[in-house]
Chain A
Amino acid sequence: MTPEIGHFAIILALCVAIAQAFFSLVGATRGYVNWMAVSRPSAYVLFFLTAFGFCCLVVSFLTNDFSVLNVASNSNSQLPWPYRLAASWGSHEGSLLLWVLMLSGWMAAVARFSKGVPKDMLSLILGVMAIVAIGFYSFLLLTSNPFDRLLPPAMDGRDLNPLLQDPGMVIHPPMLYMGYVGFSVVFAFAIAALISGRLDTTWARWSRPWTTIAWAFLTVGIALGSWWAYYELGWGGWWFWDPVENASFMPWLCGTALMHSLLVTEKRGSFKIWTVLLAIITFSLSLLGTFLVRSGVLTSVHAFATDPERGVFILGFLVFVVGSSLLLFAWRAPKVGLGGRFSLISRESALLANNVLLVVAAASVLLGTLYPLFLDALGFGKISVGPPYFDAVFVPIMVPAMFLMGIGPIARWKKSSVPELAVKLKWAFAIAVISALLMPFAMGDWSILVSFGLLMATWIALAGLVNLWTRLKQMSSGEDRTLLGSFLAIPNAYYGMLFAHWGVAVFIVGVTLVNGYEVEKDVKMSLGNTVTIGEYTIRLDALKDLKGPNYTGVEGSMAILVDGKEVDRMFPQKRLYTVQQMPMTEAAIDTGFTRDLYISLGEPLNDGSWVVRVYLKPFVDWIWGGAFLMALGGVLAVSDRRYRRASQDEENRGEKTASS
């Protein structure tokens, strides 16, 4: 019964979304107050129904109901319960249900936390989101019902893909989707503003926290996915430029541009058209990503079971949503006035340049992702685009953006000057150059790429420090405060910016050093053999058979020796998942602040020895550490008191916090 009740709840949810879209949009455009009043409660009902439906699916998974097709294909009675829970969103159908759950959750959050937004505006926003919801609920019910029965029921399930049986995979999809779907909020704000013609600084202020929080979720989601690939695929890579990775990375790049553009729109009233276009593009890229992943037009590691019918549906929906938004944009944008003027050297210019670079970077990723498809459709033959293209194109575009990250936050709004910036930043630049030249020697080996990467990282980090210092001095001199007082008086949004930028610096350090100084060894090892990597000597002491709940395997016991003394013991595993007969490598990783020691078992050889891969990866965890720091920055920015104040004096605020 449970799946049918869940199915029914989702059908009801679709009906609620239809009613909500109708009453909210018509009510708001016609000014019927009692129609508009529907929008808020219906968002709560929608969320409740979807959460209920989702719980029904989870219950089917937890109770091993193999009469449900989805459960039978993606779970197994031997599967530990946390993975049975995660299997609920491990399939195409389940992940779509998670998608609509997130969407309705965001709608409920908008309804709950937008007290300051006028009724008609809120009604428009929820109406637009309801239209997006209608598309996805229909998609779910018409082409991908997660509650379909399997008659007669299976004796046992086909098990969850062993690649997904991992703690990282349990939280990666929900985080990623929170980000993906979260951009629907700022999209709805943009469309509502276009419809009502109220494209102003207030609109930007409402949109900002939603964008930032969605962006923070997306950042964590992408980082978790990358981290998972690092330890689960067993060969230590962390980014592959796979179409599905790109699908999440493009909205991230545009979302980053959008955050910065919204800042200018809120503070200076400029970039309105650009901001609204970015909001549309960011969400469009989220939808495009969904299309690419679900339709199977591109081949990828993450390929879900694909189905042309689904592709047609999403493409149709994509055309409707994006096409009508862009049409609305073309119709309304010419009437939007330009904001405050600014000179060539100003914070606006720096942010504009950063925006353009991020969007160009996103476009180059889009081009690389779709290029095989373009050529094929034009009959020019079939090609594949690999990392060589992305590395060659993406990095040079991002370099100037990194450089601007140091300057932008220090430049004044409206008009700044080169000498003024030079005075403020000359020491930061000099120290960055010197340390970038010297630091590679400390690692033992100088190379131009490493030096350049470190230059970017130290530049961003130091410019941030200079910025903080300047700001503290200004505050303590102006209002007669102690340094600590000023430290506390600075709004969280400012610290959010600093943390996010430092996160980028940390990330660059990780990428640069791991690319420059990674050591890897592949060796054949029998019991008692040793291999030396860096300062570590690794000795294979024992191999024992392994019996897990749904797998069998072999576990190696490795002693880690430094100067002949045992400092640690590591246990890499090779597993064979019994249901799908899929071999998996569980690497043993000793995580450290300055390096990871990574051991994975390769293949057994005929004489009883094993191929063992050992990596010493300097600073590799800084890659994900940087990403989490960026996300933390986002969370800090959203926690800023200013967003929680119901009403604000525009002018006053604009002056006081102009440099955040």
Chain B
Amino acid sequence: MTATRFLIPLFIFFGITVFLWKGLSLNPKEVPSPLIGKAAPEFTLPILNEFDARLSNSDMEGEVWLLNVFASWCGPCLVEHPILVNFAKTSDIPILGFNYKDKPQAAVQWLNRHGDPYERVVLDIDGRVGLDYGVYGVPETFLIDGRGFIRYKKIGPLTQADVSEDILPLIQELRQ
């Protein structure tokens, strides 16, 4: 074989680098979602623990609500989970759980174990609706206003600071 094969590692590395470079501008935390200020994508999905019932986002119209994307296989979800549970206890804003690419049975167990902050949980088993919402990594949280517009989006675990500095003031503003 010729000496060019020794260049292969270099080529692979540069291939990866191109993606890393692109990844920087795709930065999930720095780039605000194009969905903010737009109408939340339509969905009609089965509800966890409610046989044959379906929920559509238009059912939530007139309310300010949170959509929280979670999955039982998601480690970071556990980090934000106590914050959600606490939020559900202290606020009257409904949180809709969006169970992403998960087994319903696993989700039930997970919620039993860690507490259930959700008003209801919809199931996006194949992740198709998640795609419409641009779900990148689980968890993600959306704040949707009474007209069905997305007003806030957080990728990654919510922190108490997100809740008290961003979400609560925004809710206050939206309710006026």
Instruction: Report which A residues bind B (CB closer than 8 A).
Output: 163, 233-235, 237, 240-242, 273, 277, 280-281, 284, 291, 295-301, 303, 306, 308, 311-312, 315, 318-319, 322-323, 326-327, 329-330, 333-334, 370, 372-374, 376-377, 381-384, 386-388, 520, 522, 580-585, 602-603, 611, 613
Contacts and interface: CB of A to CB of B under 8 A. Distances in A.
Contact of A373 (B9, B23, B76, B78): B23
Top 10 A-B pairs, shortest CB-CB distance: A240-B75, A299-B137, A334-B3, A326-B10, A297-B23, A377-B22, A603-B115, A330-B6, A583-B82, A330-B7
B23 A377 contact: yes
A326 B160 contact: no
A242 B76 contact: yes
A318 B17 contact: yes
Interface stretch (B40-48, B49-57, B128-136): B128-136
Contacts of B160: 580-582
B24 A312 contact: yes
A312 B160 CA distance: 29
B146 interface: no
A308 B137 contact: no
Interface stretch (B25-33, B59-67, B91-99): B25-33
A301 B76 contact: yes
B21 A315 contact: yes
B92 to A, nearest CB: 16
Contacts of B156: 299-300, 303
A386 B16 contact: no
Contact of A326 (B3, B13, B29, B74): B13
Contacts of A306: 27, 29-30
A333 B6 contact: yes
B23 to A, nearest CB: 4
Contact of A382 (B30, B74, B131): B131
A246 B79 CA distance: 18
B175 interface: no
B149 to A, nearest CB: 21
B23 A386 contact: no
A603 B117 CA distance: 11
Nearest to B139: A299
Nearest to B161: A580
B119 to A, nearest CB: 16
B13 A297 contact: no
A43 to B, nearest CB: 29
Contacts of B138: 384, 386
Contacts of A383: 127
5 contacts: A299-B29, A370-B16, A376-B136, A602-B113, A602-B115
Interface string B130-171: 010011111000000000000000011101110010000000
Given A315-B24, A522-B112, A308 B13 contact: no
B115 A295 contact: no
Contacts of A377: 19, 22-23, 26
A135 B97 CA distance: 45
A237 B10 contact: no
B26 A373 contact: yes
A284 B115 contact: no
B113 A522 contact: yes
B83 A582 contact: yes
Contacts of B9: 277, 280-281, 326, 329-330
Given A323-B14, A382-B131, 8 more contacts: A235-B114, A299-B156, A300-B76, A308-B27, A318-B17, A386-B74, A387-B73, A603-B115
A607 to B, nearest CB: 14
B86 interface: yes
B39 interface: no
A297 B73 contact: no
Given A235-B114, A329-B9, A296 B28 contact: yes
B76 A296 contact: no
A373 B22 CA distance: 9
B20 interface: yes
B24 to A, nearest CB: 5
A100 B171 CA distance: 44
Nearest to A284: B13
Contacts of B36: none
A504 B86 CA distance: 41
B73 A322 contact: no
Contacts of A237: 75
B85 interface: yes
A613 B131 contact: no
A518 to B, nearest CB: 13
B122 interface: no
B10 A384 contact: no
A580 B24 CA distance: 30
A297 B16 CA distance: 13
B10 A386 contact: no
Contacts of A580: 160-161
B113 A327 contact: no
A584 B135 CA distance: 27
B85 A603 contact: yes
Given A237-B75, A388-B73, A299 B136 contact: yes
B121 interface: no
Contacts of B73: 386-388
Given A372-B136, A373-B23, A323 B10 contact: yes
B71 interface: yes
Contacts of B17: 315, 318-319, 323
